[in-house]
Every structure is written in structure tokens, then in C-alpha cells.
Structure 1
Amino acid sequence: MFSHMRGFASLLTLSILAWSGCSKSPSDDKSDTTTAITVQLDWVAEPEHGGFYQAQAKGFFAEAGLDVTLIQGGPNAFPTQKVAAGQVQFAQADSTNTILAIGEGLPVTQVAAVFQQNPSVLMLHAENPITSFQELEGQTIMARPEWAFLPYLKKKYAIDFQLIPFNFSVSNFIADQNFIQQGFYIAEPFFIEQGGGKKPKFLYAWDAGFDSYVVLVANSEWAKNHPTQTRAFLAAYIRGWDDYLHGDPTPAHELMKTENSNNTDAFLAYSRKMIIDEKLVTGRGPDGGTAKIGQLESARFSTQIDQLESLDILKPKGKLSAEQVMTTEYLGAEIFAE
């Protein structure tokens, strides 16, 4: 739960860049026949990582000649920074924070989508009369202050609201019928209902035009030097998602429970169902479906860059283009040919 807590830590940038020149890759010690790949997850093992765990549990990575290690994340995982330092080859992250990291000079690129829409939302009680972003004027919201959606809201709707520090809990939300907080809507609602509350309603960031991805981030140099392995990794990962969504998720769920003892069968089933129902992996648009898994669109990255520049979060203007922050060259059309 609380997987949206993947803050962008620009204060680490200089030290990360220094480390990247001397860090040993986890794949350096493997044989010529198997490539070791380490993936830093953004949160603890949960259904948002279903593609990884299904591919691992069912041997899709191994079939591709890859020895993949999945490292659970948390509030201070700093996945993008670890990729930049060469400590891991890939990581799961938010596309907004990754664009900002690249703007700071980190040598990473976004190579595939995890979710076509980021599930970070504002949660409100169902009885709350607020139904639009404009009505947030003067409200108090508990959220991560670095969430770029917040200044975007203020600017787009000419509103202001008070922020209080995020405490990684839904207890305040359950206790206060007027409480508004940031949430990851494929996780927190389950725990709210488990705690005696009612299912909340949401204000979706993409409805305001802030349409970010959850992405796979790669070390740019490693991917460039290992294109075959990168393509094989992404193909196995996408195959894992397809199987997790449309097949039996038990292999992934059993592995997730082993990795994260807080997982229950009820939560895993709930979160997976939300991912499927909301079409987070396959996309909501008319072009959505199995073939959309993992795919990225440069136009959306261009829009994100423009938005971050307009907020003066990404400086200077014109510094980055979509082609500098993402690539589709490792996504093969043959993945679903069978």
C-alpha cells in the first residue's frame, strides 16, 4: 500500500552521479550464458508488481536466459537513483519524477509502461459534497508535498489549499468524514474498508489533464550496451503481465506473500481486480488491450514536460524533449505474435 510515495530526491543527484562512475553492476559476475538483472521495486511486493512476480514465478525470465532479482522498495527506496548509480539495471517509478531526475542529469531512460495511468488520486469520503477540483479551494489535504500534481492543480484552477504532512496511514481518513488525502486507489480503499470505513470516492489526476505513467526505468548505458537482454527482459515482463491479468495469478501471489508477509489473499485479489477493472495495464482508450501492455507514447511525455516547465519545476524551458526521457526501441511487436 501507499505505493505513490516515491519521492524525487534531487539532493541525491550529485552523489548518485559520482557513484555511477564506479558502481559495480550486479550482472558483472554472471556467466556468458545467463544475464543477471536486478530490479528495484518502488514499494513492497504487491499486485502493482504483478508482471514481475508472475514472470519470475512461472519462469518467463529464466526462459529468456535472465537471472532476475527483485528488490522490494519502500518510502526511501530511491529506485531511479539506484538505476542511475548502476546498482540495479531497472526500476519501477513514476514518470513525472523520472523526467525530473533526467532533467537533473541522471543517466536513465524510461523503456516501458507499468500502468498506462498513475493510480495516485485524491481520496474523499463518499458523503463529501466536493465533486470537482475547483471545490478544493480552502480545503486541507494530506499529501506528499513533492507531488507535482499539487502545484499543477493550484495553477490550473486558480485555487489554494493547505497541505499537511503525509503519515503513511489511513487512520485520519477513517476518523474524519471531511478528510482528504492522497492515495493509491488500488490499495488504500481496501484498508479503509478493513478499518471500518466506507469505500472512498476519488478525484483522478488524469481528469485534470495530469496524465502520468508508472514506468520501467533503465540505466541508459546498460540498455545501450545490452539491447538483446533489455528486449528479452521487457518481453518476459510483458508476458508476465498478460499472464497475471488473464490467467491464474496464484504463482505471483504466492511469491508476493513469501516476499511480503503483510499480504493477504483478500488484499491481493482486491488489488488485482482493481488493476483489471480500471484497465491500468492495458489502457482505457479505444486502442487499449493486450497489445497496449508496456507501450509508451512520446506525445504524452511531451505534454508532461510542458506541464513541468510551466510550473517552473523543470528548468530551463526547452531543456528536454520526449526522445531524451523515453524510448520504445526495446519494445518488440513480436511479443504477442503467438
Structure 2
Amino acid sequence: MNLVKRASAAAIAVVLAAGACDSGGGEPRAAEADRVTYLTAVGAFGRESYAWVAKEKGFFAEAGIDVEIRPGAGTTENLGLLASGRAQFSANDLSAVMIVLGNGKYRADVRAVAVIQQRTLNSVTLLAATGVKTPRDLSGRTIGGVRGGAPWLLFPAYAKLAGLDASTVRWIGAEAAQMPKLLATGKVDGVGQFVVARPAVEKAAGGRPAVVLPYSDVLTDLYGNALLASTKVIREDPDLVRRFAGALLEGLVYAIGHPEESGQILRKYVPTADPATAAAEVELMEPYVRANGTAGVFEGARVARAVAILRGTGIIAGELPTADVVAFDFVTQQIR
């Protein structure tokens, strides 16, 4: 499925131009693929598998791109790597990106270019044995989360709209891969996770049931993850941005249509991944990708409403024009 116009086959596969042949008139040289680094939002979980799917199925290669996929470490760190030029693309929760940009960091350095999930995936996940059933039950609890990650950054806004005093909840830093284990062993009461991480949490807990408190219950109209690009790449090579976005979204569509295969592909590239758990995460992600029947393209009015929600809760202090968050011209055709 083509999602955006790809570069022509000549531009991707073979260059016939002055200097392409050697002085003896030999065969034309194949064009070199654009080499880029892409950061997942956090870690190498099933919900991130679509990037490896796009690589394995040849979607990046067809777009003339050689991509190195690295596990990300949360919004703040990912944005720093984009700003420094050590990565060109990443996936991160758009609300968390807005919080960072709205409070003055990296505003000139990054822009979102495509929607990955139409609704926020952020949540607090706990074991049912804790007895927590509502957001207000979190008072006095300890939650583990990635420092600078979306669940932690967005929690004050969630708590305010849910009627919870955020100051009564203690957050402690934890690596993403360790959070299910911390929860299973009782070292924290809950973890700031994406809702689709429930299968991994329950597996780590030996099958004990988990309870998920989705932020989307009270923070309506917020997007989930978005594809981000550095403004340097956007400025210097907009065609690369279009090709990369198209290939990644193609991988996303394929992944949610083939969750079991996606789990196996992830296992190929990340040997420690459990393909069954990864497949379950992909299945749980599907309705968030297609929440409005379509995905991929930003709606300007909705981006503005999301900024207004975050400003209204006080989590963003100043003005944040939508043009400082999203570059709207790179993906113009919805995926279905």
C-alpha cells in the first residue's frame, strides 16, 4: 500500500547522470541509499515493532533508505538526540513533545510529521491485587516511570482532570524494560506505561491480572505517538522525510494487519523479545491507530485543541503555536 508518493524508481534504484559512469563508459552505479537513524519511543517492545517490520518487508529499501533502528529512551532524551543530529527520526508521544516544546526546549529543533496513533496510549498500570480501581485510588501510591517519558510528563494533567492531587503520588525513575518486573515484585504500586503493555505486565507477574487506568479516559482529543523529524532534515532534505514517513506508515499498516508475523519479525531483530507478547501488544494497538477510521495525517484544529488542553491544566506555561509542533505538509493522505 502506497501512503505517500515515493521517489521515482530511477531516483531510488539507479542514477543515470553525468559522472554516474566511469571514464570507460561502464555500467551506471546504483544510487546510494540515504542512511538515517530512527529511535523508537521507548525500548524494543511489540508496540514499536512496526519499524522493524518496515525494514524486514523492504519498505525502507524501496524508498531508498538504509535505516538503523535504535531503542529510544523517552521523549526528552529522544528530542535531545534529534536536536544534536545523532538521530534524524523518532517516534514519541505528541503530548509529551508538546510539554517539552511548550516549556522552551528543542522548539527550533524538531517537528512532528505523521500520526502513528490517533489516541494517547499513556496509562498507569497496576496489578489488580492493589485494589486500585479509579485515579483517586492512586493517592499515596508509588509509580515507576521513565524519567522524561510521556506517562510521567503527562501525569499532572491527567491527575488534575481526574480529580487527583498529583503531589500525593510518588514517581520514581526506572528503565522501561525493568518496569514490569518492578511491578510484579511489589517494588512499586504501579508503572507509567502504554495501555498496550498490559500483556507484558501480566506475563512478568506470572499471569496475575493487571488494571489499566488510561489517560485517554479524561484527556480526550490527545494524539498518541507521532513520527518526529529534526528540522535540519526537514529543511535540507524534505523528500527524505516524505519517503521515510511513507515507508514507516506502510510498516505500521502491515504490522497491525499481521500481528503474529510482526512479533516474529521483532524477535529476529531483538532476540530477547517474546513474539507472543509482542503480537498481543500490536493487536491492542490497532484501535488506537485507527481510532477515527484513518490515521497518518494531522488535523490542525485538533492539534490546537490538544495544546489548549495542556495549557488549561497548567502543564504548558506559555504560547505554543501549532506550527512549532507539527510540519503538516509531509503526509497528506490518510492510511486505512
Q: TM-score, normalised by structure 1?
A: 0.75
- Match of 1:306, SS state, is helix
AA in 1 matched with 2:307: I
1:120 positional shift: 2.1
- Counterpart of 1:258 in structure 2 is 268
- Deviation per CA, 1:238-292, whole angstroms, max 9, x where unpaired? 1111112224753x4444223322112222222222223xx12222xxx31xxx2
1:223 maps onto 2:234 in alignment: yes
Corresponding letter in the other structure for 1:262: T
Q: Residue 53 of structure 2 contacts residue 251 of structure 2 at CA under 8 Å; is this kept in 1?
A: yes
Q: Which residue of structure 2 lines up, in the alignment, with residue 99 of structure 1?
A: 98
**Aligned counterpart for 2:205 among listed residues 192, 195, 213:** 195
Cross-structure match for 1:163: 170
The residue type equivalent to 2:115 in the other structure is A
35-44 vs 168-177, which moves further: 168-177
Task: Show the 5 A alignment for 1:268-307.
Answer: 268-276=278-286, 279-283=287-291, 287-288=292-293, 292-307=294-309
2:283 maps to amino acid: K
Structure 1 position 151, deviation (Å) = 1.8
Aligned-partner Cα distance in 2 for 1:92–1:201: 26
Shift of 1:175: 5.1
Give per-residue Cα distances to partners, 1:67-113, cap 9 Å, x unaligned.
22212234699221111112221011121232234332341100112
CA contact (8 A) 2:120 2:225 kept: yes
Residue of structure 1 equivalent to 2:116: 114
**Quick one: structure 1 residues 196 and 323, their matched pair in 2 at CA, closer, same or farther if it must change by over 3 Å?**
same
Deviations 1:156-192 (A, max 9, x none): 3253523141444334533559934323332244343
Please, which runs of 5 or more residues in structure 1 have no aligned partner? Answer: 1-30
Q: Which amino acid aligns with 1:281?
A: V
Q: CA deviation at 1:34?
A: 2.7
Give the corresponding residue for 1:81.
80
Counterpart CA distance in 2 for 1:199 and 1:298 is: 39
- Give the deviation of 1:329 after TM superposition: 0.6
RMSD of the TM alignment (CA)? 3.1
Q: Give the Cα–Cα distance (whole angstroms) in 1 for the partners of residues 82 and 205 of structure 2.
A: 37
Establish whether residue 323 from structure 1 lines up as the match of residue 291 from structure 2.
Answer: no
Measure the CA separation in 1 of the matches of 2:278 and 2:180. Answer: 18
Question: Any idea what SS the aligned residue of 1:296 has?
Answer: coil
SS of corresponding position for 1:333: coil
Give 1:235's aligned residue. 246
**Secondary structure in 1 matching 2:192:** strand
Distance 1:109 1:187, change over 3 A: same
Aligned to 2:289, the other structure's residue is in SS state coil
Equivalent-residue separation in structure 1 for 2:48 and 2:228 (angstroms): 14
d(CA) in 1 for partners of 2:80, 2:58: 28
Alignment of 1:169-208 (within 5 A): 169-171=179-181, 173-174=183-184, 179-208=189-218
| DSSP-derived class of the 2:116 partner | strand
1:112-136 Cα deviation digits (max 9, x unpaired): 1222223221223436654433444
Alignment check: 8 A CA contact 1:235 1:335 kept: no
**Matches for 1:11-90 after TM superposition, within 5 Å:** 33-74=32-73, 78-90=77-89
List alignment gaps of at least 5 residues for structure 2. 1-29
SS at match of 2:288: coil
Matches of 2:94 and 2:186, distance apart in 1:
32
Q: Distance in 2 between matches of 1:125 and 1:87?
A: 38
Count of matched residue positions in the alignment of Structure 1 and Structure 2 = 295
Identity in percent: 19
User: In 2 relative to 1, CA 41–149 (structure 1 residues): closer, same or farther, beyond 3 Å?
Assistant: closer
* SS, match of residue 83 in structure 1: helix
Tell me how far apart the structure 2 counterparts of residues 67 and 56 of structure 1 sit (CA, whole Å): 9
CA contact (8 A) 2:111 2:231 kept: yes
Q: Which amino acid aligns with 2:52?
A: Y
TM (normalized to structure 2)?
A: 0.76
* Other structure's SS at 1:117 match: coil
Alpha-carbon distance in 2 for matches of 1:335, 1:264? 28
Greater C-alpha Rg: 2
